Amino acid sequence: MIHGAVNISQGSRNEPPMEETWRLSKKKDTLWKRARMIHAIRNFFISRDYLEVETPNLIPVLIPESHIDAISCGDCFLHTSPELYMKRLLAAGYPRIFQICKCFREGERGLCHLPEFTMLEWYRQAIDYLPLMKECEELIISVARDLGYGDVIHYQGQTLRLQRPWESISVREAFALYGPMPMDKALKEDCFDEVMVSYIEPHLGFEQPTFIYDYPVSKATLAKAKEEEPDLAERFELYIGGKEIANACSELTDQNEHYIRFEKVQKYRRSMNKSVYPISERFLQDVVTMSAAAGIALGVDRLAMIFTDSPIIDSVVTFTPEFL
């Protein structure tokens, strides 16, 4: 068996230029397709009267998340998503906004993760998560058309149908169908994430894209709870080819509930010895004027993986952290 505990980058740092050129040049078709995909995304939103916005990447406050760590930069942080400032725009009366930007997350590196990645976020006033699901379908179908695909795309040997409606399944149903235990038991035994990764995700989005919805409230910091079932939140994820592509929710607009949930997250982070980031008081004040809205974050690199039939995220970006 071959072993090696040495970081791959050590062997690659001193490569002669010819090899580096060759490695990069292999990405040419993929990078062209990625660029066309991003262009198609912009066209979709502009044609629907969405305003493209840019919010600061270097920020002093963060929305607390149990499992997302920020990268510090001077006295500030690199944003982990543009959520906070896009919501402040929503609260100030911008009813339809979208943004495509780089986001930064400490320690995230895997086949589908980069510490610096590209996110698409869009927010829309006066709707909840269900119309957003529809809009998400429309976006991806529209992008597929612009890239020259018909009703099917091929990903890693699988044929995916894009005809609507797409499959949708609640988290509870998915646990019952694919999991070794019901959702509530997994929550109680603190293995929700493990079951999700090992049993549920491998079934999602293989014949057609799949929405999985109604997550436990404890797994959705800023999603509105369902009125008829307050243990569940109005949150969904889109999966294609077993990969999480987007995460969306009906936005929480109750100020008091924000305080309660933020405190819970901060307490958890403290208990895990993780950095506890400052919270934005301005944001919490703005929440008061925020009307009903839904928002969604979509991983642009992951969508590019699907459209370029790439098994790993490295293939769809120009440079990865190991080759800088």
318 binds other proteins (CB under 8 A): no
Beta bridge partners of 110: 113
Question: Which x/- pattern, by CB under 8 A, does the window 233-252 give for other proteins?
Answer: ----x------x--x-----
Closest distance between other proteins and the C-beta of residue 140, in Å? 17
* Residue nearer to other proteins on the CB measure, 107 or 148: 107
Near other proteins in 171-230, by CB under 8 A: 192-194, 196-198, 201, 215, 219-221
Minimal distance, residue 263 CB to other proteins, in Å = 18
Interface map 111-150 toward other proteins (x if CB under 8 A): xxx-------------------------------------
Q: Which of these ranges, 7-15, 94-102, 144-152, 153-161, lies near other proteins under the rule CB under 8 A? A: 7-15
State yes or no: residue 271 binds other proteins (CB under 8 A).
no
Binding to other proteins by residue 66, rule CB under 8 A?
yes
Which one of 13, 109, 188, 267 is in contact with other proteins (CB under 8 A)?
109
Residues 25-64 touching other proteins, rule: CB under 8 A, are 25-28
Least spacing, CB of residue 274 vs other proteins, in Å:
10
Query: CB neighbours (10 Å) of residue 303?
Result: 25
Phi, psi of 279 (to 5 degrees): -100, 150
* Residue number with CB closer to other proteins (247 or 308): 247
Site for other proteins contains 16 (CB under 8 A): yes
Residues that bind other proteins (CB under 8 A): 1-6, 8, 11-12, 15-16, 18-19, 21-22, 25-28, 65-67, 107-113, 192-194, 196-198, 201, 215, 219-221, 237, 244, 247, 272
